[in-house]
Chain A
């Protein structure tokens, strides 16, 4: 279990996260959504151990993450933050190899690399330096590296956690689908997955659970049909939003030509964060 226990984070005099409580089980995909500046990336950074909360703590399987060594953490959770480095001078295959723990036997490390290259459609770029790739390709290379770290950790111990921030932002639709499929597969293999997404349709497609962050607090938390509704989303985003059902799949889209819906007939039972 990866938990946030009353995490508050402040930058200068601005409170970015305010007494956040959260528990992420393994084997499920949790999507974090919310407007810009809601604290999503900060939450991910706190859960990953990269920043020390002003108050509260992040706990991974009973241990406080800021007390664990980077090497120890790396075996149990893989993280990809927003805008990873474009100018990495190494070939894609070597970038992936860098994330694989040294204790993984070389033959298995080669398998992990091959699997990561395949999953993110990078085989033809395997020998190309990351710095020569397009933005989307470079992002896929970093995603492949992050998945490889997760798989290597799972090989050495037990499935860990995958924390990724906006993985689909710079990708075309086919590759967005590939990334989210990889995330689902990771959950199926026992990892806990936390994805920050802006595209709520993608969130609906991939997530078992959606958490809406707003102004540093959890505004809604629950299953897709309960959370992704106009009644929940419109006050938070401040625009009219439609939630449609297309062949059994939930599609969330901003409306450009209408007022916010007044009849929240689809409003389900939206649980607040206390019930987590």
Chain B
């Protein structure tokens, strides 16, 4: 029984390391949230931010906080959580660290749905009640994302492989098809729609209206436990699908749950913020370096890292050339693209590209 004793001691050690990790991450996230609320063209000290939040601030500051910065921060949090959890879950499901909602085309599918709703929805929208009008874009984005996931799983099934090469080539094809379809929609759009679209396709936290942001935040909040409940299933899937089945996992059901949760989460945040690239790749990777591959730790840590990355990227973009606000999607792609290249080179050097 001596090794059981050592195991317990080890657990206690890693437990304190874990508490510190979570503490630091939470501290970072809270710091970034305060910075998001305080910094900008008009600087508001953290104390006055707090006053405005509890209703004691000046009217001007309250307006800036409540109608601009708070919705933006909330959307940033939702984007970070949704993309990081979706990325981590897809990577676990497909047993490949390169699976990412953007790279494999899920974000593109959601974008196509949303663009379709922006361009073609106008014709339909006037016949719809207000509630449905807000929902039109997220529903279309969900359908687009879900369609791409269905296509992707079919490709993986037919190819009998979820190797990097399969996923990336499938992503290239899907992204190309979607880009063409979006091009067609842009071609038929009018001037106002074109302006909306251009900003939206670069990814931004600042353009969505508040009703949509609240809806997206609620959807993502509901999806968090759905993802976290798949931790053990994702762990088992690391043994391979067949072995996971032998060990008691309903693989088909797990696949459906993750596909649904990913399509919903990515669809929701894409509808509100546009495509924000690479968060789903970078956040889980950092989390894996910090806490290892067990999904009960990996998923929450990835979510916190995702939120930190999105808020930091947004702050960076906003503060770089004030009062301009370059789209956050540009910032995440500028950092995430080279990171992806590095990961890819590592897989090539390990000879794992085709495995």
Contacts and interface: CB of A to CB of B under 8 A. Distances in A.
B293 A89 contact: yes
Interface string A123-160: 10011000000000000001001000100000000000
A69 interface: yes
B184 interface: no
A75 interface: yes
Interface string B107-126: 00000000000000000000
A151 to B, nearest CB: 14
B239 A98 contact: yes
A242 interface: no
B246 A48 contact: yes
Given A84-B240, A89-B293, A71 B1 contact: no
Interface in A240-256: none
Interface string B254-298: 000000000000000000000000000000000000001110000
Contacts of A84: 239-240, 243
A50 interface: yes
Contact of B243 (A71, A81, A90, A117): A81
B245 interface: yes
Contacts of B235: 90, 98
A70 B248 contact: yes
Contacts of A98: 232, 235-236, 239, 247
Interface stretch (B3-11, B49-57, B77-85): B3-11
B3 A123 contact: yes
A90 B294 contact: yes
Interface residues of B, number: 25
A81 B250 contact: no
Contact of B242 (A74, A81, A114, A149): A81
A75 B248 contact: yes
Contacts of A114: 1, 3-4
Contact of B238 (A78, A85, A101, A127): A85
Contact of A69 (B95, B239, B242, B250): B250
B44 interface: no
B248 A50 contact: no
Interface string B1-40: 1011001001000000000000000000000000000000
Contacts of B236: 98
Contacts, number: 71
B249 interface: yes
A111 B4 CA distance: 8
B294 to A, nearest CB: 7
Interface residues of A, number: 35
A270 interface: no
A90 B294 CA distance: 7
A1 interface: no
A73 to B, nearest CB: 7
Contacts of B245: 50, 70
Contacts of A69: 250
B1 A50 contact: no
Contacts of B7: 93, 110, 126
Interface in B210-260: 232, 235-236, 238-240, 242-243, 245-251
Contacts of B239: 84-85, 88, 95, 98, 142
A110 B246 contact: no
Given A85-B239, A89-B238, A98-B239, A73 B248 contact: yes
Nearest to A149: B247
A94 interface: yes
Interface in A182-233: none
Contacts of A117: 3
Nearest to B4: A110
